[in-house]
Amino acid sequence: MFGKNISPYFFTVLFLLVPLGINAQEAPSPITRSRDLQLSAEEYREIFLSFTPQERKRLLQDDIALKDFLTDFHAATVLANRARAMHLDQDPRVRAQIEVKTRSILANELRTRYLESLPMPDFQELAKEFYLAHREDLFSQPEAVKVAHILIKPDPCTRKQAGPKAAWAEAEEKAAAILEELKGGADFSELAKKYSEDPTAVQGGLINRWAKSGTFVPSFEKAAFALKAPGDLSEPVRTRYGFHIIKLIAHRPAQPMPFEQVKGRVLKTVRKNYVMEKAQEYLGPTYADPRYLDLEQARQLLRELDASSSMTSSTRTPSH
């Protein structure tokens, strides 16, 4: 019923508050009202206080979300008040659910306040140290190539008349002939414009971006990265598209990126690592010791509750 961006503890906050809403004749300035209930600004103040700043900002910026929240919350208040009138808040299962949510809310609030109170070190120095220790593995530009290619596809007419094998053989033969022209001194860009069946033909076959490992299909990639010097040509390479003649334009070896280029990312990483480390120091001792978990006793309790629930369901009189 409520937007997914509203705090999951909303219903618990609602149920734990004293019954909301007053008689329609008594309310001075309601924000929402229905036949027998209205909710004032002061009552909504309590609810909005439970939201995070991000949740409040979202409601301020989105009129539809605010309208949906107000109408849905009003309905939930009516239902919660009816539930209290029926003493559902005294039902053992409901009380247990409220207690579980209450503990979760309190635990989360304590964690948040602890982390907000942490003294923050000089992350600039920590960032430099972290960068120097990890620049080869975390902050390195991978090896990359820039290439041009000529693509010769199997001719559809040959495929139809003589079969796929003949069409592929014809394409390979044509690619080999083009390669001989290139070895004889022909201009790669001109032959690409003349023969290539790839969209890059209009720009002389150039794939105008740095390509790292994983960019191309495997056979194309293997041939491209095997080329040593700018201007080197591959033998015709078969892919699912056809046969390619690849020309190496430039090669960029793997190398660490300058600190200033990755400074923002490094600062974010060291800050996150610091907070996680401090959180673990604080939370670690709060966890139950796994050596002393009594799983059998817990299982027995679950089985008893399950049996009790099944018995209650089977004896309940169906309503008509």
| Residue where the block lists tokens 């200033």 | 260
**pLDDT for position 28:** 63
Rounded CA separation 224/222 (Å): 6
Of 159, 160, 181, residue with least CA distance to 170: 159
Rounded CA separation 109/249 (Å): 57
Rounded CA separation 184/189 (Å): 14
* Four-residue CA torsion sign, 228, 233, 235, 236: positive
**pLDDT for position 18:** 46
Q: Which CATH architecture is the domain 143-253 placed in?
A: Roll (3.10)
**pLDDT for position 168:** 97
**pLDDT for position 166:** 97
Using DSSP's 3-state secondary structure scheme, residue 205 falls into coil
**pLDDT for position 1:** 43
Rounded CA separation 215/24 (Å): 67
Rounded CA separation 44/30 (Å): 10
The conformation of residue 231, written as its DSSP 8-state character, comes to T
Of 237, 196, 192, residue with least CA distance to 218: 237
Q: Where are the domains of the chain?
A: 1-117, 143-253
Please list the pLDDT of the chain residue by residue as tens digits (320 residues).
Answer: 445 445 545 555 555 544 555 444 454 689 999 998 999 999 999 899 989 899 999 999 999 999 999 999 999 999 999 999 999 999 999 999 999 999 999 999 999 999 999 999 999 999 999 999 999 889 999 999 999 999 999 999 999 999 999 999 999 999 999 999 999 999 999 999 999 999 999 999 999 999 999 999 999 999 999 999 999 999 999 999 999 999 999 999 999 999 999 999 999 999 999 999 999 999 999 999 999 999 999 999 999 988 887 766 665 555 44
Please state the pTM of the whole predicted model.
Answer: 0.56
